[in-house]
Every structure is written in C-alpha cells, then in structure tokens.
Structure 1
Amino acid sequence: AYGERYRPVAERAGFSFPTSTVAELKVVERVPGSATTDFGAPGAIAEVDRRPLSAAAARRQAALVEACWAAFDEVVATAPSALRKGPRGGGRDLGAIVAHVLDAERAYLRKLGLRLGPFNGDEPDSLKSHRPAVLKVLGRAWRPSAGDPPWTAPYGARRIAWHVLDHAWEIEDRSEPGA
C-alpha cells in the first residue's frame, strides 16, 4: 500500500523503485519492539545499522533523507493551514505539525552528535537551516568507534526519513476533503 508513496521519494533521490510485492520482500533482521515501535516508529538500532558504512552507501542514505525533506517541503508549501480533523475532532493543524517536526529534528541532531545554534521557529527557513550539517554527517563513510553519539548515522537516516514522511503523508491525507 505504501509502495506508491515511497516511489517518488526514491526516484527524487535518483533510485529506481522496484515493483516488488510484499511476498518478495526479505526480512534481514528483527529487533525487539518498544512503545516507540508500537506507535509505528523505528525505535531500536538494528545490528545492520551498527556495521561500517561505505562512502557510496552513505551518499545514498543522505540522498534519500534529502529527498524526504524535499517531499515534506512540497507538501507543506501546498497544504492549507487548517487541516481536516480526525474522527474524534482532533489533530494538529499545519503549523503545529511543522513545529513538531522541527522540535523532533532538534532532538535527533543531538542523538547524531551535532550541536547547532538555536532555531527560530518563526522564520520560514528555520526548518531547513540544520539540514546541510545533517547531510554532511549522514553522507560520509562511517565506522563504529568508542565515543560515538547515541545514534549511528544509518539509524539516524532511517529515523529522520520515517518521521518526515510520516508527517508529510499525514498532511497530505488531512488536506484532502473527506478523505
């Protein structure tokens, strides 16, 4: 069901997107879940995310994160400020979702070992100001070493991409009347 939502993001990053069926997908690792995974977020660093990452693989992951951000930016730019409410009348409007994404990314930066100056949430480009530093971290070869930040670059890329797309798709879905 999500394949067609991922396709434009993968293509924007320069990758073809296979037309695989769920039956053709291969599970490469399972990790214990938590309250975070119960919510749908990647909440544990898999062993595959602790393995060394080549420069080419790092550039690919950075390109995917950048494509996720571009998709989010496009959705935000075209969405109404007041979004359709959920079945019980709740749900954040556009500005609150954008602020939430910015707040989460601020926390993610620290988990990746980045310390940047304060963001000004009132400035339109504030959301984008940290992205070059994040892409620099995600786009370089990586090997585990003592003193690493709490998140590995591969896990950070996965978590950022998931979060940005989750909210881009929420905004899309709640921008459509009666959907």
Structure 2
Amino acid sequence: MSDVNRIVLEVAPKKSFASALDWPGWSRSGKTRDAAIQVLTDYAPRYLKVAEIAGIDGVLVAATTWNTIDEVSGNGATEFGVPEHIHDVERSFFAQDELERQIALLRASWQYFDEMGERVSAEMQKGPRGGGRDRDVIVRHVIDCEPNYARRIGADTPSALVATPEGLAEHRRRVVARIHEVNENQLETKWPLPYFVRRAAWHVLDHAWEMEDKDLTGKER
C-alpha cells in the first residue's frame, strides 16, 4: 500500500474520534474533531511501539500527512468513548498484502497488551474520588470481550475458551484463521473485516495505554 495516512472521523457534540484506517488500533478521541486529530497525532510515539513489534514502518510519516477521507456525525456511543461507526470505505475486503499487514498489526496489539499487563503494577492509580479499576480487572475485561468481538465475524470462539493463557492463544489463532477465511471467500459478516480489525485492536490498545498511564511502579502510593 502506497498511502498509509488515511483517517476517518466521528464527530459528536461532546466528543469526537479520529481513527487511522491503515493502522488498526490507532484511534483516539477529543472534545472536537480537531482535538481528536491532535490526540491521534500525539499518540504516534506510542503506536510506533506496536508497529515495531509488527516490523512495519511508516507511523511517524503518517502522523504528519493525515488525509481525512470520511467524516460522519457521531452518536451516543461516540460520546461514551467508542469508535462505533462503520465507514463506507470499510465495507469491503483486503487485498492480500494489506490483509497480512493488518493481521500483523492486530497480533502486535495483542502482544503489546499482554506485555503491558505483565509489566504494570497490580494496583492502578485512582481518580480524584478514588474511582477506577485495578490491573487484573482491566485485563479480565479486555480478554472477556474478545470472544464477543470475534462473533461479529463468525469466529468459533466460546467465551470459556479464553479462561486460560493457552485458551486465549487458541482463541486468537481461530480469529486470525477466520479473518483469512472471510477475506478469501468474501463472506458477509456483521462487522466488515476492516472495521473488525480496527475495533478489536483499538479495544486492546486503549486499555493497554490506560494501564500504562495509571501504572504505579516506582511511584509513592
């Protein structure tokens, strides 16, 4: 792919999302469309670590040459903090080289999340009123959501499968196999593949970065 700088926007009155289509998981929100784009840009060094796991270059260049190809009105999900909209450009399938690139970045997102969960403190920094979840609760939430996401593309991954590390690895193997199957046979699924990969990677990275930001390792408690 020659251009890897495409972004799409969801704009709602109180919150907007900017998502990099060519970099699954690189989706950030802000109070306005311009603020969302700025936050997306500011996260380039953080997403770079994910791309490095995948062995893919181009993150920093993309962040300086964004090309907005679609902007839609957001909804309650947008304002709640979820990039919910499926853009028309995502109602398609991947070319073979782009399929492998997207899968590599999804796998890298999983790996980044897993490693973050092992590295950060068990206790997370709380909000001003003492609210917020600790590490193990965040990790369990993300893992428990993975089968629900996978069902959107028809992957055979029962919820109980992710209860162990071995089961989680098998779940992810099945997801990748299903991505290949859907793309090669151009199967219709509840979530089109481009949106599924973007949304699935976003969820794990959003919480990986949450844990990183709230890590208390080396800090006074």
Cα distance in 2, alignment partners of residues 133 and 83 from structure 1: 32
Deviations along 1:90-140, one digit per CA (max 9) or x if unpaired, are 111111111110222121011111132342665344443310111223346
* Aligned residue number for residue 175 of structure 1: 215
Residue 117, structure 1, aligned to residue 158, structure 2: yes
Q: Which amino acid aligns with 1:104?
A: C
- State TM-score, norm by structure 2: 0.71
Do the aligned residues in 2 keep the contact of 1:53 with 1:143 (CA within 8 Å)?
no
Deviation at 1:157, TM superposition (A): 0.3
* Aligned residue number for residue 42 of structure 1: 83
Deviation at 1:83, TM superposition (A): 1.2
Do the aligned residues in 1 keep the contact of 2:51 with 2:59 (CA within 8 Å)?
no
1:165 to 191, 198, 205: 205
1:102 to 143, 159, 183: 143
Do the aligned residues in 2 keep the contact of 1:79 with 1:171 (CA within 8 Å)?
yes
Deviations along 1:61-103, one digit per CA (max 9) or x if unpaired, are 1111000001001101112221111222111111111111022
Q: Which amino acid aligns with 1:8?
A: K
The structure with the greater share of residues assigned to strand is 2
Gapped runs of 5+ residues in structure 2?
1-41
Do the aligned residues in 1 keep the contact of 2:147 with 2:158 (CA within 8 Å)?
no
* Aligned residue number for residue 154 of structure 1: 194
Deviation at 1:24, TM superposition (A): 2.5
Judge which range, 100-109 or 127-136, deviates more.
127-136
Do the aligned residues in 2 keep the contact of 1:50 with 1:144 (CA within 8 Å)?
no
Q: Which amino acid aligns with 2:52?
A: E
Residue 8, structure 1, aligned to residue 49, structure 2: yes
Gapped runs of 5+ residues in structure 1?
none
Cα distance in 2, alignment partners of residues 75 and 22 from structure 1: 24
Cα distance change of structure 1 residues 113 and 32 upon mapping to structure 2, 3 Å threshold: farther
Residue 93, structure 1, aligned to residue 134, structure 2: yes
Number of residue pairs aligned between Structure 1 and Structure 2: 176
Cα distance change of structure 1 residues 104 and 122 upon mapping to structure 2, 3 Å threshold: closer
* Aligned residue number for residue 80 of structure 1: 121
Q: Aligned with 2:71: secondary structure?
A: coil
Q: Aligned with 1:27: secondary structure?
A: strand
Q: Which amino acid aligns with 1:82?
A: E
Cα distance in 1, alignment partners of residues 185 and 111 from structure 2: 28
1:136 to 168, 174, 177: 177
Cα distance change of structure 1 residues 66 and 122 upon mapping to structure 2, 3 Å threshold: closer
